[in-house]
Amino acid sequence: PLPRSFQPNGASEEALWCEIEELKRKDLALDQEIAQLLSEGYSLEELDKHISLLHEYNEIKDAGQMLLGKLAVIRGVTTKQLYPEYDLELSD
């Protein structure tokens, strides 16, 4: 058992064990997903590169969203109102 001083926000030991079990299930699911991709012919290097590119894309997208937000404030409009001006879809 964890001492109370180590329990975040007074969480009960039972809640912590439930969280650990959920993380174990997620870990197993990810391992199975990786095994599936490997069996389909993907390599670990290819998967790592893909993940790296997704992180880079998300960082660039976040920067773009931040800039659109600042521009919207300056113009006194919503970010959504700027999308057509820059040929962006709401799903972008």
Average pLDDT over the chain, rounded to whole?
87
pLDDT digits (tens, 9 = 90+) for 7-32: 555 568 888 899 999 999 999 999 99
pLDDT of 64 higher than 60: yes
Average pLDDT in the 36-46 region?
A: 89
pLDDT of 83 higher than 70: yes
Q: How far is CA 64 from CA 57, 59, 67, in A?
A: 10, 9, 5
Six-digit token pair at 66?
């931040």
- Domain residue spans in the chain? 9-42, 43-91
pLDDT of 34 higher than 60: yes
pLDDT band at 91 (very low <50, low <70, confident <90, very high): confident
Cβ–Cβ under 8 Å, residues 84 and 92:
no
Question: Which tops the pLDDT comparison, 6 or 61?
Answer: 61
